[in-house]
Amino acid sequence: MNDLARTIRVVTLYPDVMSIYADRGNLIALRARCRQYGIGCEVTAVGIGDGLPADADLVLIGGGQDQEQRRIAADLAARGVRLRDWAEDDVAMLTICGGFQLFGHFYRTAEGEELPGVGIFDVTTVAPAPGAPRCIGDVLADAGDLGEVVGFENHGGRTYLGPHARPFARMRHGFGNNGDDGTEGAVYREAIGTYLHGSLLPKNPAVTDRLILAALRHRYGPGVKLETLPPDPYAERAHRAAAAVARRRGRPNP
Ligand code: GLN
């Protein structure tokens, strides 16, 4: 199958509400990487009250402060059946911070309000009492076969993995899910949840490639392969710079 025939269908959820700390950069980076591969990228933005497309190959949702999460939580939870079906069908997903929290079971705010999640990740998130310190800073973590990942975190909520959740990464510098257990984010099938803003994908091309490959395989079958691109000098430089800052300033993990 020649490159020009390959197109992935991307759904971006609440891009006008859930895109704090430059998370919209993930879609920009995804589109740019797809262009490098000669892969088409059809994007459907889904806002509050909009219908979901009949199918998708990749879903994106960014982060948001409590008030943004409150605005979309009920609308998102109402889409839970379709989103869980997509996750079980290995649709690629990238969910960031507040979006990640709402792809778990629930997010309980510092005021004790419980926002429902869609339950794709077996995680729960609870914010400590008002005035407790937030998890803020530069992050360096090990994401297994994806290698080292870098980004920026700013969240009050502490996320805890349930028995069916696997972490996206293990912390080296920064707080991660809760500042205690050394885990960062969660993965379920082809869905990735992470606290890494910045945005994530421009500095971590291996993650972008993983999402593109999963999206292609969802649409064209498991035999699809993705050729190796030459190193992207800008992404490499951005990654190295962010890693150096995290090593210098990020909260060390034991
Ligand atoms: N409101 C959530 C929290 O504070 C998520 C924040 C975010 O998306 N940056 O934990």
Using CA atoms, how far residue 118 sits from 80, 182, 214, in Å, is 5, 24, 21
pLDDT at 1 over 50: no
Confidence at 5, pLDDT banded by 50, 70, 90: confident
Give 35-66 pLDDT, tens digit per residue: 999 999 999 999 999 999 999 999 999 999 99
State the chain's mean pLDDT as an integer.
96
β-sheet bridge partners, residue 46: 13
CATH class entry, domain 7-249: alpha beta
Predicted confidence (pLDDT) at residue 2 exceeds the cutoff of 50: no
Q: Whose CA is nearest to atom 5 of ligand 1?
A: 98
What pLDDT, on a 0 to 100 scale, did the predictor assign at position 251?
A: 85
Rounded to the nearest 5 degrees, what angle is found at the Cα of 78, between the Cα atoms of 51 and 210?
75
Find the 111 Cα to ligand 1 centroid distance in Å: 14
Active site residues: 97, 197
Mean pLDDT of 179-191: 98
The per-residue pLDDT for 37 is 96
Look at the block and give the residue holding tokens 């009050």: 156
* Binding pocket residue ranges, ligand 1, CB within 6 Å: 20, 63-66, 69, 97-98, 101, 127, 154-157
pLDDT in tens, 103-159: 999 999 999 999 999 999 999 999 999 999 999 999 999 999 999 999 999 999 999
pLDDT grade for 254, boundaries at 50, 70 and 90: confident
Model pTM score: 0.97
Cα(220) to ligand 1 centroid in Å equals: 35
Q: What is the structure's pLDDT at 222? A: 97
Written as one string, the DSSP assignment of 24-86 is: THHHHHHHHHHHHHT-EEEEEEE-TTPPPPS--SEEEE----HHHHHHHHHHHHTTHHHHHHH
